[in-house]
Structure 1
Amino acid sequence: MSLNVSGTIGIVLFYIAILFVGIWAAIRKKAKAEKNDEREDCKKRIDKSEDILVAGRSLGLLVSSITMTATWVGGGYINGTSEETYKKGLLAVQAPFCYAASLALGGLIFAEKMRAKNYVTMLDPFQEKYGARIGALMYIPLFIGDILWCASILAALGASIGVVLDIDNTLAIIVSACFCVAYTFVGGLYSVAYTDIVQIFFIFVGLWLSIPFAFTNHAVHSISSTKKHWLGHWETNKTGVWIDNALLLIFGAIPSQVYFQRVLACKTAKQTKAQSLLAAFACFAMAIPPFLIGALATSTDWSATAYKGHTNSTLPKEDGNRVLPLVLQYLTPPAVAFIGLGAVTAAVMSSADSAILSSSSMISRNIYKVLFRPQASEREMLLVIRITTCCVGFCATVMALNAESIYGLWAFCVELIYVVLFPQLCCVIFMANANSYGALSGYIVAVFFRAGGGVTFIGLKPFIHYPWYDKSNGQLFPFKSLAMILSSLTIIIVSSVTKYLFKSRHISTKWDALGYFQSTYETAFEESSVEKEKSNENSHLLADILS
């Protein structure tokens, strides 16, 4: 197979077009900001660094819904859906259904409350309630999650471009990452949001266009003949695992900066619900084409195609993560394959830029400014945002070059956030008594019980055998959800107990190592003492008068 010159030129032009849209959005944002500043009656604008991170809170319903959809429908989402449909069947494809539910629940329960507070990042409520250090601790799973997510979708793009254009995966990943970093560097969320509009158009058109050509290829038989294969079968002994994974995909996707960054960029708090519900519907609909591609791959006689890597007319197991690009390359005409590749490329870039901006936002604001440089100027903050954007992009690219399982990376990044951060988010928003002691205890409990179940991704063997543990199948109990529940209970109990002990003075505030109760209860105690002394003075004065 030789290099597809015309396809390569087309992809390069597509990248340049996306970069142009990103730069145009940044210039448009700057011109609009200058125009607002010239108006004498205009309201005070938010800081320029915040302007970049939340697009001046100016995104309307249509743009915010599109950028939310494009963010979730990434390369891992598309390639992973086709991969799992081909390898395990529809019953194993949980992400499209669960992510749609996640967006809907996030909008109904969390979005309006966060936007009404005018937060800039998801970590703001944690640092506001627990202090800078405990709040910064929450960033660890978010950072790992964003890097893994970005790496997984860049790896998906490398696999797709490598198949269709016969370009080295390494080159494809590096070039794609550079373009994402470039326009994110220039315009922040403005550039990301407007490039998402172009990218979601390419995703929709490219994937749906390839379906009729692939289905009518002479090597493809009716998918009804392989229904048992692409539908899959229910493994009763793994019901607990299925439930566990479904819950982590639904609730693990909510506490993420890529979600709340778009929520916080909406014009109004009420708009956030409609935005999330529209994105949920669109996210589910965009999973239909990659599912169909995975299903028709099961009914294809690969020996009747030009692909030489088949085994007994079927794709070998190691080709599972390349199902979508293989279908595009060998079952559709070259022009259609190129357009389909454009869809995958657009999907990757729309999610990669979001993950990069997500991490750089929290590093610059919640780590650098809040923790180390509260006096940092706006110019300094803009510089930090851009430096961290480049650094995060570099880290994700390095990981993408060493990625082995697209779907595994993608699912694992959600798992980290589900176990540790979902209970923390619920408590910091809805539990008035939550404090830093409860948050820290819940954090430790979540990590311990999750790690106890084993992490195959990094080679950590289980040191806790939960019910139904099997040596060959591993943990069959929904232990991730158990870790999340135990973390929630720990936050509630420890927060309530420590509040009672410090407030009732059973423990002196001088033992308040985290400094949470010192300012609150010392002040209250001093005010109470002053009032009591005044009351005693008044009582003595009244007694003297009466006597």
Structure 2
Amino acid sequence: MGYLICILLYIAGIIIYGIVMGKKKVKTSDDFVVAGRQLPFMILIGTLLASWCGGGGITGSASVVYLYGPVVGTLHFAGAPIGMLLLYFISSKVRSSTKITVPEVFAARYGDGASIIAVICIMLAYVGLCATQIKAAGNIISLITGMDANLATVLSAVGILLLTVSGGMISVAYTDAVSALLMVGGFLLAIPLLIGRAGGWSEAMAAIPAERLTGTGGLGVIAILGYMIPTISLLLGDQNMMQRFASAKSAEEAKKSNLGLFAAEITVCVLIILMCTIGIALFPSLDVPSNIIFSLAVNYLPFVLGAIVLVACVAFIVTTADSYLLSAATNVTYDVWGKYLNKNADDKQKIHFMRITILVLTVLAVVLTLFFPTILSLQMTAYTMYGAAITPALLFALFSKKVTKAGGIAGILTGGVVTVVWTMVLNSPYGIASAIVAVPAAVVVILLVSALTGFKGEETYRRLYENSKS
């Protein structure tokens, strides 16, 4: 019960902070969505890290380390730093654009039809990603209280909902930064104690089954790539990242913050891998592998430190879920409701509609948790949906003047349809992850259709940067 009290106090604190910041700082829809484009450098790094490394990293990805060993875990986590290095060349481009959302970019380059298709694909992906966070938070509460997992999931969703609707990006960004600091500090203190509990590093490694110390952990190369490619492809086109880069004070600040994010992500990945590797030795058999970090905190750490780790985990989960809800609600509000249904909506109406949308998306995310048995399966499917349907078309939109409207639309449809068919209909034949098929298929279709339609898109390319302010 003590752990739950600590978690509830922290969540209550950030919700109150969000409400206060929302009343003081949120005056326009621009404030709600991109924090008035005035986030400082360190806050930007913190919110970028927390928005990326949330429930998926400390549950689904952590279970990969636990099940297949530190080498496979490292390869799995490597997808994010690789993507961030590539993202360095995109960040200033995004901040220089006058667009806030991915569908806005698609509308400028590929037309309104592409924009609507993108909203649908992003909604499917982000509701799925939000569901992973809600399910992870529910797992923590269920583990430390014995509460029914479904009830714990609903309670987690309520807390996530309240923080998101309170202040938008203003409240999310600053609480993200605090959560990131808490996470890194808690893990740094916990790891030496856990190594001692295992009898030292050499004893811990000796207790790990030999197969989990191999380069493949019993998996094939295709299976390992199936864990890496969805991460890279999602990160390169993640609208969460776009919104945060758009929140920076300038294009240069956005680019610098990406380097800070790279360093922070490496640090967090190493800490998670170390904790989960020690966890293999301390928990030779665990019924729910995604609970490995939470189980270590409850069973092997002193109460105060265990509480810090659990609070940090919940904080990361909550802020990541907030980010996906806010981003998806922004799409619905700006790219559908405000564009087609209520073109004359003022800022107050936009914020009100966005909050209603966040509520609806939260309910859908809770429902989705019932259909996926594990966080990892839900995480990888959602990553691939976004990475295949959105990222290839987005990168071509930002960097290629020759990609055509038909090519872009065909690529979006191909990525989304192949992901659904390969995963839901064919059940990933031969054990091949959908990302390995869907992402290359989308790229090939964009290039092929653009070549066949033969139109150069310099005019639509320029629309992305008209009236931009750095």
TM-score, reference length from structure 2: 0.89
Say if 2:133 and 2:321, in contact at 8 Å, map to a contact too: yes
Residue in structure 1 matched with residue 249 of structure 2 by the alignment:
267
Residue in structure 2 matched with residue 9 of structure 1 by the alignment:
5
- 1:394-433 matched pairs, under 5 angstroms: 394-400=363-369, 403-433=372-402
Cα deviation for residue 393 of structure 1 reads 1.7
Which 10-residue stretch deviates more, 215-224 or 402-411? 215-224
Residue in structure 1 matched with residue 265 of structure 2 by the alignment:
283
Pair 1:486-2:441 in alignment: yes
More helix by share: 2
Q: Which amino acid aligns with 1:491?
A: I
Q: Which amino acid aligns with 1:486?
A: A
Which among 75, 89, 100 is matched to residue 81 of structure 2?
Answer: 100
Pair 1:189-2:169 in alignment: yes
Residue in structure 2 matched with residue 53 of structure 1 by the alignment:
33
Say if 1:249 and 1:414, in contact at 8 Å, map to a contact too: yes
Residue in structure 1 matched with residue 184 of structure 2 by the alignment:
204
Say if 2:15 and 2:166, in contact at 8 Å, map to a contact too: no
- Aligned-pair identity in percent equals 22
Shift >6 Å, 4+ stretches: 218-221
Cα deviation for residue 219 of structure 1 reads 7.7
Say if 2:198 and 2:204, in contact at 8 Å, map to a contact too: no
Cα deviation for residue 235 of structure 1 reads 6.9
Cα deviation for residue 143 of structure 1 reads 1.1
Q: Relative to structure 1, is the Cα distance of residues 166 and 232 closer, same or farther in structure 2, using a 3 angstrom cutoff?
A: farther
Residue in structure 2 matched with residue 139 of structure 1 by the alignment:
119
Superimposed CA distance per residue, residues 399-432 of structure 1 (whole angstroms, 9 cap, x where no aligned partner): 2355421122112211112222222112212222
Residue in structure 2 matched with residue 226 of structure 1 by the alignment:
207
Residue in structure 1 matched with residue 234 of structure 2 by the alignment:
252
Which among 315, 338, 353 is matched to residue 285 of structure 2?
Answer: 315
Q: Relative to structure 1, is the Cα distance of residues 69 and 480 closer, same or farther in structure 2, using a 3 angstrom cutoff?
A: closer
Unaligned runs of 5+ in 2: 461-470
- Aligned partners of 1:479 and 1:134: how far apart in 2? 22
Q: Relative to structure 1, is the Cα distance of residues 198 and 235 closer, same or farther in structure 2, using a 3 angstrom cutoff?
A: closer
Say if 1:98 and 1:246, in contact at 8 Å, map to a contact too: yes
Secondary structure of residue in 1 paired with 2:237: coil
Which among 293, 298, 314 is matched to residue 275 of structure 2?
Answer: 293
Cα deviation for residue 135 of structure 1 reads 1.0
Which among 14, 21, 24 is matched to residue 20 of structure 2?
Answer: 24
- Aligned partners of 1:175 and 1:415: how far apart in 2? 28
Which among 73, 78, 91 is matched to residue 53 of structure 2?
Answer: 73
Cα deviation for residue 19 of structure 1 reads 1.0
- Aligned partners of 1:296 and 1:79: how far apart in 2? 15
Secondary structure of residue in 2 paired with 1:270: helix
Q: Relative to structure 1, is the Cα distance of residues 482 and 297 closer, same or farther in structure 2, using a 3 angstrom cutoff?
A: closer
- Aligned partners of 1:338 and 1:198: how far apart in 2? 16
Pair 1:91-2:64 in alignment: no
Say if 2:68 and 2:212, in contact at 8 Å, map to a contact too: yes
Pair 1:460-2:460 in alignment: no
Superimposed CA distance per residue, residues 171-227 of structure 1 (whole angstroms, 9 cap, x where no aligned partner): 332222222222221211001001112211221232233223322237888222135
Residue in structure 1 matched with residue 467 of structure 2 by the alignment:
none
Q: Which amino acid aligns with 1:262?
A: R
Which among 378, 389, 394 is matched to residue 358 of structure 2?
Answer: 389
Q: Which amino acid aligns with 2:222?
A: G
Q: Relative to structure 1, is the Cα distance of residues 134 and 218 closer, same or farther in structure 2, using a 3 angstrom cutoff?
A: closer
Cα deviation for residue 336 of structure 1 reads 2.6
TM-score, reference length from structure 1: 0.77
Cα deviation for residue 230 of structure 1 reads 4.5
Residue in structure 2 matched with residue 440 of structure 1 by the alignment:
409
- Aligned partners of 1:339 and 1:229: how far apart in 2? 33
Q: Which amino acid aligns with 2:251?
A: A
Cα deviation for residue 243 of structure 1 reads 3.1
The count of residues paired between Structure 1 and Structure 2 equals 454
- Aligned partners of 1:62 and 1:500: how far apart in 2? 43
Residue in structure 1 matched with residue 141 of structure 2 by the alignment:
161
Q: Which amino acid aligns with 1:369?
A: G
- Root-mean-square deviation over aligned CA pairs: 2.6
Q: Which amino acid aligns with 2:31?
A: D
Which 10-residue stretch deviates more, 361-370 or 391-400? 391-400
Secondary structure of residue in 2 paired with 1:376: coil
Residue in structure 2 matched with residue 152 of structure 1 by the alignment:
132
The structure having more radius of gyration, on CA atoms, is 1
Residue in structure 2 matched with residue 528 of structure 1 by the alignment:
none
Q: Relative to structure 1, is the Cα distance of residues 500 and 13 closer, same or farther in structure 2, using a 3 angstrom cutoff?
A: closer
Q: Relative to structure 1, is the Cα distance of residues 237 and 400 closer, same or farther in structure 2, using a 3 angstrom cutoff?
A: closer
Cα deviation for residue 267 of structure 1 reads 0.8
Superimposed CA distance per residue, residues 222-246 of structure 1 (whole angstroms, 9 cap, x where no aligned partner): 2221353543442798223323542
- 1:508-547 matched pairs, under 5 angstroms: none
Pair 1:344-2:344 in alignment: no
- Aligned partners of 2:123 and 2:66: how far apart in 1? 31
Q: Relative to structure 1, is the Cα distance of residues 182 and 276 closer, same or farther in structure 2, using a 3 angstrom cutoff?
A: same
Superimposed CA distance per residue, residues 307-343 of structure 1 (whole angstroms, 9 cap, x where no aligned partner): xxxxxxx314x32122222212221223332222111
Superimposed CA distance per residue, residues 29-84 of structure 1 (whole angstroms, 9 cap, x where no aligned partner): 14xx6xxxxxxxxxxxxxx2222111110112111111001111212201234322
- Aligned partners of 1:236 and 1:295: how far apart in 2? 16
Unaligned runs of 5+ in 1: 34-47, 303-313, 502-515, 517-547
Residue in structure 1 matched with residue 453 of structure 2 by the alignment:
498
Which among 91, 111, 115 is matched to residue 95 of structure 2?
Answer: 115
Which 10-residue stretch deviates more, 74-83 or 243-252? 243-252
Which 10-residue stretch deviates more, 176-185 or 253-262? 176-185
- Aligned partners of 2:447 and 2:167: how far apart in 1? 41
Q: Which amino acid aligns with 1:270?
A: E
Larger RCO (alpha carbons 8 Å, 6+ apart) = 2
Secondary structure of residue in 1 paired with 2:168: helix
Which 10-residue stretch deviates more, 216-225 or 341-350? 216-225
Q: Relative to structure 1, is the Cα distance of residues 352 and 500 closer, same or farther in structure 2, using a 3 angstrom cutoff?
A: closer
Superimposed CA distance per residue, residues 276-301 of structure 1 (whole angstroms, 9 cap, x where no aligned partner): 1211210121122322222122222x
Q: Relative to structure 1, is the Cα distance of residues 459 and 206 closer, same or farther in structure 2, using a 3 angstrom cutoff?
A: farther
Cα deviation for residue 460 of structure 1 reads 3.4
Q: Relative to structure 1, is the Cα distance of residues 479 and 214 closer, same or farther in structure 2, using a 3 angstrom cutoff?
A: closer
- Aligned partners of 2:244 and 2:365: how far apart in 1? 21
- Aligned partners of 1:66 and 1:156: how far apart in 2? 21
